[in-house]
Each structure stands twice: as structure tokens, then as C-alpha cells.
């Protein structure tokens, strides 16, 4: 087979890139190691920056998003029994959109299928060849049969454990990482939200987050030990602990119910430099990971897609390589700012095992400063709604 862009990974970033390229008449083939049902079964965040929404609009995939999403003009931050609101609309003029990543992925699959886009599932043994030449190609197997795609470029959208980053020689890559000493235990429940906007809560028992997917589907999280397993937490134990970590006036309103999904996610900050090697480009989790605090994971992947899509578009439409040549530099400049925000917000809201009494006092002081200072709130709001591309 032959195509212009081979895309490794059939998650939202790979599908979005493929659909955007399609709108400009640029051919692509998407390779996914799992099934479509498996990809759609993954539970992920659902807070979208306006940049991501604009890309979905440009891809022609935003109709259902606009019909079903929640528009959030702010978010709540709590500590102890105190709670204050960061007003995104007032401070930046821009809201965020709450729409589940699973639904984003579903919309993109539907668009690619409607356009007869080529997606290969259950691929194994993917090897990216000759990425440092003008004639890259990808080999893989499906059902034991070997296949090959010759292409102009390869986009690695295959996540942290994918083959794309490992294709770049070790003496070229530089990796930066921070592993956090806790995880997030999250449950999905068919219950109404405790609040019309998200609540991020710092308590003496650890962090908690009240989020939602729609009017009767909520996602709640608590900070937990990395030694914990899902089996250690019954629904009753989760709800009891969650109530203790949010202000009492919110806990009183909480409607609980059986979990329909429960999982524990470790937290890490990770960045790879560079994000390009020859004709191979890394996108999203293949190049960087952020803690979920502040919901930057999918949104940083979207900004990568923005830079790569426009670089490829300029290459094919105008014969210019300027966009693809500057891809890594532009993407990383924004990624590091998102990393900084997620690191800062995580440091502010969680309890760390080595925190001293002084450290805890500093957390409270910063939260009180944030609650009362407009400039501090504006800086947070600008980062939360998304820095410009």
C-alpha cells in the first residue's frame, strides 16, 4: 500500500489528524493495535480547550459536541471548608467545554468511516523504517499476514508505550520525567453532578475532584496510594472517603450510586525532545504525559495535531517545509507551558508524603492568595482554558 501520511495509533489524536488531512485532500492510513470497541471503551478526561473544539469544527466533527456538551464558564477550588470560583469567562472571555474523550473519539471514527478513511485494527509488530530518509515505510502484521505501507511521512500517535518514540535513536532523544508518589482512584457513576461546574478540592485527607460527563453521568476522583488496587475500594468506601474530602455543604448534596467503572491511574510528568526525527513526528502521549490535574492531556495532543496538520498542509499545498521543520520547536514550547501548569496545580492540590508543616502552610497561603487575587486567578484561568497555539 501507499499513502502520503501513515498514522500510528487510532486514538483521538491520530483520528483527528487523519480527518483534518482528509479535509485538505491529503491521504492517510491509520494503524491501531486494538479493536475499535476497545478504543471506545477507554475512560478518559472530558474537558476541552477552545483550540480542540476549533479543530473538531474544522474537521467537520463538532455537531454532536455542540448539541450535547456542557459549557463551563468557571471552576471551583476548595480547601478545607472553604471554596471559591475561578471565573474563566470574566477573566479570559473564554469558557471550557465538557464533552467526554470517548465521545470525541466516537465522532471522529464516524467521520473517518463516512469518508471511507482507511483504518487498520489489530495490527501487530509495527516497525517504522527509514524515517531518517526521504522514503520512509511502515511494516506490520494483521492476522499473521505481513503488510507494508510506503509513505511520505509518519505520525506517531501511539501513546506512551507505542513504537514511535522508541524508533528514534537513543542518542538523539532526551527524556525528562517526574513520577508522583500517588495515584488517582476514579469511578464513573450514573448520578447527577454534585455541582454544575468542576470542584478541585485540597483536604487534609488528600485531593478530590468532582467532574461530570453529562447530566446523569459523573466522574469522581480521590488521591490514593500507588499500592492500592481497585479491589481495595468498595463503592461505599469510595463515597465515604470522597465526602470527607469536599466541603460539607457540597457533600450534603452528593447523590451516590453504584460505580459502572473504577480504575487507578498513576501520575507522571514526561517530555521527550525532540518531537521529530527525519520524517517521523511524535504527537500526544507518544511525546509527553501530564498529570490529569487541569485536564491537559488530550488538549496538548490537540495542539500537536494543530502544528503538524498545518505543517503538512503547507508542505503539500505550497511546497514549503517551514511548518514541518519548525514542528518540534513550536509543539514543545506549548507543551512545556502545559507541563508547568499541570505540575503547579498538582503541587497545590495534593498531599505529598514528605510534606512538612511549613509546606502545608505554604499550600494554604497560596490557595488563600489565589482566592483573593485577581491577577493570580487570571493567570490560572488563562492556562486552564488553554494558551493560544
C-alpha cell belonging to residue 213: 460527563
Known catalytic membership, residue 292 = yes
Catalytic one among 22, 140, 220, 384? 384
Catalytic residue among 99, 109, 137, 200: 200
CATH fold for domain 2-72+97-178+268-347? FAD/NAD(P)-binding domain (3.50.50)
Instruction: Identify whether 291 is a catalytic site residue.
Output: no
The superfamily CATH assigns to domain 180-266+351-385 is: D-Amino Acid Oxidase, subunit A, domain 2 (3.30.9.10)
Residues 214-230, mean pLDDT to the nearest whole number: 94
Model's pTM, two decimal places?
A: 0.95
137 carries an active-site annotation = no
Query: Following CA atoms 323, 28, 18, 315 in sequence, which dihedral angle do they give, to the nearest 10 degrees?
Result: 20
pLDDT in tens, 9-53: 999 999 999 999 999 999 999 999 999 888 888 767 789 999 999
Q: Residues 28, 49, 111, CA angle at the centre, nearest 5°?
A: 30
Between the alpha carbon of residue 308 and those of residues 15, 130, 278, 282, 389, the distances in Å are: 13, 20, 14, 9, 12
Catalytic residue among 292, 309, 315, 330: 292
- The answer to whether 72 is a known catalytic residue is yes
CATH 3.30.9.10 residue window(s) in the chain: 180-266+351-385
Question: Which residues belong to CATH 3.50.50.60 in the chain?
Answer: 2-72+97-178+268-347
Q: Which of 275, 302, 312 is nearest to 6 (CA)?
A: 312
d(CA 59, CA 108): 9
From the CA atom positions of the chain, what is the Rg in Å?
21
Q: What is the pLDDT of residues 273-293, one digit of tens each?
A: 999 999 999 999 999 999 999
315 included as an active-site residue: no
Catalytic residue among 296, 306, 330, 350: 296
Query: Pick the catalytic residue: 12, 22, 72, 291?
Result: 72
Amino acid at each position: 500500500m501507499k499513502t502520503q501520511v501513515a498514522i500510528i495509533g487510532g486514538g483521538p489524536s491520530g483520528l483527528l489528524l487523519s480527518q483534518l488531512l482528509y479535509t485538505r485532500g491529503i491521504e492517510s492510513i491509520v494503524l491501531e493495535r486494538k479493536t475499535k470497541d476497545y478504543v471506545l471503551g477507554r475512560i478518559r478526561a472530558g474537558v476541552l480547550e477552545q483550540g480542540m473544539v476549533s479543530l473538531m469544527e474544522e474537521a467537520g466533527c463538532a455537531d454532536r459536541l455542540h448539541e450535547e456538551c456542557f459549557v463551563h464558564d468557571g471552576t471551583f477550588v476548595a480547601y478545607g471548608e472553604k471554596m471559591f470560583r475561578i471565573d474563566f469567562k470574566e477573566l479570559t472571555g473564554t469558557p471550557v467545554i465538557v464533552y467526554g474523550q470517548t465521545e470525541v473519539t466516537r465522532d471522529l471514527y464516524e467521520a473517518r468511516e463516512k469518508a471511507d478513511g482507511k483504518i487498520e485494527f489489530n495490527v501487530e509488530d509495527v516497525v517504522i523504517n527509514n524515517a531518517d530518509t526521504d522514503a520512509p515505510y511502515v511494516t506490520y502484521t494483521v492476522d499473521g499476514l505481513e503488510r507494508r505501507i510506503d509513505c511520505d511521512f509518519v505520525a506517531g500517535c501511539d501513546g506512551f508505550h507505542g513504537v514511535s518514540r522508541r524508533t528514534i535513536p537513543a542518542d538523539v532523544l532526551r527524556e525528562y520525567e517526574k513520577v508522583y508518589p500517588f495515584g488517582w482512584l476514579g469511578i464513573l457513576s450514573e448520578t447527577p453532578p454534585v455541582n454544575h461546574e468542576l470542584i478541585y478540592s485540597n483536604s487534609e485527607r488528600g485531593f478530590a475532584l468532582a467532574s461530570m460527563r453529562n447530566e446523569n453521568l459523573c466522574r469522581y476522583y480521590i488521591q490514593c496510594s500507588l499500592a492500592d488496587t481497585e479491589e481495595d475500594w468498595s463503592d461505599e468506601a469510595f463515597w465515604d472517603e470522597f465526602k470527607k474530602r469536599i466541603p460539607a455543604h457540597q457533600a450534603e448534596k452528593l447523590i451516590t450510586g453504584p460505580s459502572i467503572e473504577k480504575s487507578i491511574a498513576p501520575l507522571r510528568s514526561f517530555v521527550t525532545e525532540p518531537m521529530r526525527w527525519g520524517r517521523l513526528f511524535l504527537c500526544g502521549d507518544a511525546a509527553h504525559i501530564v498529570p490529569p490535574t487541569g485536564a491537559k492531556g488530550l488538549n496538548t495532543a490537540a495542539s500537536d495535531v494543530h502544528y503538524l496538520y498545518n505543517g503538512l498542509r503547507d508542505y503539500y499545498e505550497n511546497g514549503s517545509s517551514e511548518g514541518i521543520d519548525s514542528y518540534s520547536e513550536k509543539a514543545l514550547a506549548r507543551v512545556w507551558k502545559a507541563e508547568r501548569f499541570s505540575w503547579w496545580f498538582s503541587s497545590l492540590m495534593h498531599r505529598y508524603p514528605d510534606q512538612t508543616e511549613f509546606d502545608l502552610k505554604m499550600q494554604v497561603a497560596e490557595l488563600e492568595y489565589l482566592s483573593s487575587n485577581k491577577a493570580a486567578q487570571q493567570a490560572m484561568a488563562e492556562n486552564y482554558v488553554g494558551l493560544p497555539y
